[in-house]
Amino acid sequence: MTFLKPKVLRFESLPSTNTELARLASEGAPEGVSIVADEQTAGRGRLQRAWSSPKGAGLYFSILLRPTIPQNYWPLITFMAALAVGDALREACGVQTDIKWPNDLLSGERKICGILAEAIETPAGRAVILGIGINLTQNAFPPELVNVATSVSEVVGEAPDREEILASLLEALSRWYPLLEQPGQIVDAWSNRSSYGMGKLVQVSNGDDVWQGTTCGVEPDGALRLRTPGGEIRSLRAGDVSSIRSSKVAS
Ligand code: BT5
């Protein structure tokens, strides 16, 4: 795996930084090409869910990766990104974060950052568009996000400097990316920083499937291990996790 050399392209407005970067990747853009937009008009999360991206309210960022590690470890790219964002928010603004499997950063149990890693085919081979959305302020949050999302300004009490966070993020990504060669180190670092990795009572939904249980670590490829009330261990590779209270667990 080569060292990451980010090169940032800036836009005032885009439908989605991930979509624009996928277009550049299909035209042969090299690893490290990155996009920042002041706003996204069709920012997205997993399963085509919307990512609220009002002008000036967030860091909307995507970087093109051409990983050389085996594809079964590619889910760890999301883990690597969560570690890098955690470093950047701590270093640039003193914000401490928790990681919720698989792709959220939380502060005070509310979402401050979402990560969307998408694998795409390009003429130069399979690549990953790694998209990161960090809430800087929540002035323009839609009402449904008010109780579930937070922002750097809400946590620290003042509007943060987007460029400082971006610079810290690029440095942190460059530090963590080569460590994907040692997947065990990424999993260990992630597990140390996530309250969701071990001993958390959760519900995991994936379409019509819903599981409840206690988390018991992650597999080497990042799958979440869940011990169900019947004592069975399930390894989950996709889904939405929410924390639950013990009285709500179905037996
Ligand atoms: C994510 O999806 O959390 C991935 C978000 C990735 C956004 C970045 S921004 C740059 C790049 N370009 C893009 O188009 N996307 C990436 P998911 O886990 O599916 O969460 C989506 C859910 O988070 C939504 O259904 C809402 O409930 C909630 N949400 C939407 N906007 C939010 C925001 N700004 N802050 C916190 N939560 C939000």
Distance 46 CA to ligand 1 centre (A): 7
Cα 138 to ligand 1 centre (Å): 14
Residue type, 158: E
Distance 185 CA to ligand 1 centre (A): 27
Residues at CB less than 6 angstroms from ligand 1: 16-18, 40, 43-46, 49-52, 60-62, 103-104, 111, 114-116, 131-133, 135, 145, 149
pLDDT at position 248, please?
53
- Those residues with Cβ within 8 angstroms of residue 201's Cβ, 6 or more apart along the chain or in another chain: 212, 213, 214, 243, 244, 245, 246, 249
Ligand 1 atom closest to Cα of 132? Answer: 8
The DSSP element (H or E) to which 189 belongs, if any, is helix 183-193
Query: Distance of alpha carbon 224 from its chain centroid, rounded?
Result: 15
Residue of minimum CA distance from atom 30 in ligand 1:
51
Q: Are 197 and 101 in contact (CB under 8 A)?
A: yes
- For 108-147, what is the HEC assignment? CCEEEEEEEEEEEEECCEEEEEEEEEEECCCCCCCHHHCC
- Residue 251: its pLDDT value, please? 46
pLDDT at 140: 82
Output the CA 16–ligand 1 centroid distance in Å.
11
> Which residue puts its alpha carbon closest to atom 36 of ligand 1?
149
Report the nearest-CA residue for atom 35 of ligand 1: 149
Enumerate residues 6+ apart whose C-beta is below 8 A from 180. Answer: 1, 67, 69, 73, 76, 77, 80, 186
CB 81 within 8 A of CB 193: no
Tally of residues, the chain: 251
CB–CB of 186/180 below 8 Å?
A: yes
pLDDT per residue as tens, the chain (251 positions): 668 989 999 999 999 999 999 999 999 999 999 999 999 999 999 999 999 999 999 999 999 999 999 999 999 999 999 999 999 999 999 999 999 999 999 999 999 999 999 999 999 999 999 999 999 998 788 999 999 999 999 999 998 999 999 999 999 999 999 999 999 999 999 999 999 999 999 999 999 999 999 999 999 999 999 999 999 999 999 999 999 976 555 54
Which helix (DSSP H) or strand (DSSP E) does residue 37 occupy?
strand 33-40
**SS3 category, 242:** strand
What is the residue with the minimal CA distance to atom 28 of ligand 1? 51
Which of 16, 51, 120, 173 for a ligand 1 pocket mutation test, highest count of atoms within 8 Å of Cβ? Answer: 51
- The closest alpha carbon to 44, from 14, 66, 85, 81, belongs to 14
Closest ligand 1 atom to the C-alpha of 141? Answer: 34
State residue 62's pLDDT score. Answer: 98
pTM above 0.95, yes or no: yes
Cα of 104 vs centre of ligand 1, distance in Å, is 9
pLDDT given at position 249: 54
Rounded CA-CA distance 23/1 in Å is 23
